[in-house]
Amino acid sequence: MMEKMIFGRYVPADSIVHRLDPRSKLIFVFAFICIVFLANNFVTYAILTVFTFFLIFVSKIPLRFFINGLKPVLWLILFTLVLHLFFTRQGHLLFHFGFIKIYEEGVKQGIFISLRFMNLIFVTSLLTLTTSPISLTDGLETLLNPLKKIKFPVHELALMMSISLRFIPTLMDETDKIMKAQMARGVDFSSGPLKDRIKAIVPLLIPLFVSSFKRAEELATAMEARGYRGGEGRTKYRLLLWHLPDTTSLIVLIFITAILTILRS
């Protein structure tokens, strides 16, 4: 389970993507989430997909990490694809068998939505795989600094997000251990009626919640013992520095945005 869950994991490597400032990566990902909706034909989706795989290549992270990250939502992608195939009634009729009718537009929209999901998951996964949680916290806090003028708890929000990202893999690992321990005692999570399978999950959730609360209490005690008092007056050991590659990455994204806008049908 740990290998399939990549969200929140950081994979160290010596790549240009790893060395980018976390602020530029955050801006890049948020902008990419917006521009992915500019693609609306095969050419624009091909450009977007090639660009995504180029980012994966320069990150020097094996593709299997991204494939594993796609598996948890694969059923959602397939479900969306099936919906478009059977319920979109536009374009030329491609297949007809009984009440099943598949139209050209349904196939196109199903493929486009699947590619959109894939690109979004790959690029957002790239953010966490190439950026440590502490760097993400610093970058997010710096970007949200203007909100401090309206008394918005920027530091606390960034800290909560960092802790959440940090403990997602830990909780998944803990879930895996509890499941294996209960399966060794005869609990069956994968077969039988749905009602019995739901009942089998309850003994899994209770120790997981107990373990989570225990970890949260230990973390709070450790932070208090080290004198943590919030973001007021705190300094940073690692200073964020914006370099030429950070500017270049955003310029490339603007260039891709312009191409997608021009090639929209």
Q: What are the pLDDT digits (tens) for 75-130?
A: 788 888 888 777 777 777 776 677 677 777 778 888 888 888 889 988 988 888 89
147 near 154, Cβ under 8 Å?
A: yes
pLDDT of res. 183: 78
Q: Is the pLDDT of residue 199 over 60?
A: yes
Q: What is the mean pLDDT of the chain?
A: 81
Q: What is the mean pLDDT of residues 161-183?
A: 78
pLDDT in tens, 129-140: 898 878 888 888
pLDDT of res. 1: 43
pLDDT in tens, 3-53: 455 666 778 888 899 999 999 999 999 999 999 988 888 899 999 999 999
260 near 39, Cβ under 8 Å?
A: yes
Q: Is the pLDDT of residue 194 over 70?
A: no
44 near 263, Cβ under 8 Å?
A: yes
* This prediction's pTM: 0.75
Q: What is the mean pLDDT of residues 243-262?
A: 93
120 near 3, Cβ under 8 Å?
A: no
Percentage of the chain exceeding pLDDT 70: 86
More confident residue, 114 or 185: 114
In 141-242, the DSSP E strands lie at none
Closest CA to 16 of 57, 59, 66: 59
151 near 31, Cβ under 8 Å?
A: no
Q: What gap in Å lies between CA 158 and CA 183, rounded to an integer?
A: 38
pLDDT of res. 47: 92
pLDDT of res. 2: 45
Amino acid at 16: I
Q: Is the pLDDT of residue 213 over 50?
A: yes
pLDDT in tens, 231-241: 666 666 677 88
Q: What is the mean pLDDT of residues 201-206?
A: 78
Q: How open is the CA angle 229-137-122, to the nearest 5 degrees?
A: 155
- The token pair that represents 31 in the structure block: 């902008």
Percentage of the chain exceeding pLDDT 90: 19
Q: What gap in Å lies between CA 85 and CA 104, rounded to an integer?
A: 9
Task: State residue 242 phi and psi, 5-degree precision.
Answer: -90, 125
Kindly report which listed range (72-76, 114-118, 207-211) carries the lowest average pLDDT score.
72-76
Q: What is the mean pLDDT of residues 151-178?
A: 78
pLDDT of res. 5: 56
